[in-house]
């Protein structure tokens, strides 16, 4: 994979971060969570690519990444979703996800040396479900009349597009990687394109008014 696509997961995070730096406005609490999420993502993907270029195993980083990413994104949802029950469930979902990740390593035959398909599948499913909750609340409120001006709409739209379109790729990656390298390359390029679109939409969100 050439350097443009190979390092897209690293520099893609810079798109919304640059917009934040150029924007003259104090960060909201929600934006703070996303900022640290983007910085963490850039660091993990940068280290992963560094190790991969030197043929050093990097699968353990993705086990770590799935847990930390879900924490940041789930906490972001807890700040913008109004439903009190969902807000109470989210902390338990985070703890449950971490427990599942540990069991996945110890019991479900996905050690730190292998791609963690089970963990990512569960993470993507939970994030997609939270996106549906957000969109349901948005369509049930007066904010829907000016949704294009709301920061959280663009951010959640980015999440929904990326995680829903990449869901099948994450499922298939582990099982076809050893047998069909052409398939893996083409579909991974698609996944990277969805990833870049996600970051562009987060950047668009940062240009809009903060979520109340």
Residue with tokens 């969902």: 86
How many domains does the chain contain in total? 1
Tell me which residue range forms the domain holding 111. 3-206
Residue with tokens 């449950």: 96
* Strand, coil or helix: 211: coil
Residue 171 inside a domain? The answer is: yes
Nearest to 162 by CA among 129, 195, 120, 193: 195
- The pTM of the full predicted model, rounded to 2 decimals, is 0.91
Residue 76 inside a domain? The answer is: yes
**Contact predicate 20/31, CB 8 Å:** yes
Tens digits of residue pLDDT in 115-169: 888 999 999 999 999 999 999 999 998 888 888 889 999 999 999 999 999 888 7
Tens digits of residue pLDDT in 42-65: 999 999 989 988 889 999 999 999
Give the number of other CB atoms < 10 A from CB of residue 91.
12
Determine the Cα–Cα distance for residues 114 and 117; give it in Å rounded to an integer: 9
Residue 211 inside a domain? The answer is: no
Residue 111 inside a domain? The answer is: yes
Residue 212 inside a domain? The answer is: no
Residue 9 inside a domain? The answer is: yes
Tens digits of residue pLDDT in 62-99: 999 999 999 999 999 999 999 999 999 999 999 999 99
């Amino acid at each position: 994979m050439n350097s443009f696509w190979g390092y897209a997961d690293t520099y893609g995070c810079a798109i919304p971060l640059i917009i934040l730096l150029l924007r003259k406005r104090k960060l909201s609490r929600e934006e703070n969570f996303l900022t640290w999420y983007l910085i963490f993502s850039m660091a993990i993907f940068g280290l992963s690519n560094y190790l991969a270029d030197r043929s050093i195993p990097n699968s353990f980083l993705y086990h770590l990444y799935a847990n930390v990413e879900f924490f940041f994104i789930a906490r972001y949802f807890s700040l913008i979703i109004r439903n009190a029950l969902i807000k109470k469930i989210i902390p338990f979902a985070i703890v449950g996800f971490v427990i599942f990740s540990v069991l996945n390593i110890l019991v479900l035959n996905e050690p730190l040396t292998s791609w963690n398909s089970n963990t990512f599948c569960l993470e993507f499913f939970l994030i997609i479900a939270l996106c549906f909750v957000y969109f349901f609340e948005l369509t049930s409120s007066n904010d829907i009349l000016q949704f294009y001006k709301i920061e959280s709409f663009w951010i959640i739209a980015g999440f929904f597009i990326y995680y829903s379109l990449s869901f099948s790729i994450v499922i298939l990656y582990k099982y076809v990687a050893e047998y069909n390298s052409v398939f893996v390359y083409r579909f991974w390029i698609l996944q990277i394109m969805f990833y870049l679109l996600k970051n562009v939409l987060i950047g668009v969100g940062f240009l809009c008014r903060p979520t109340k």
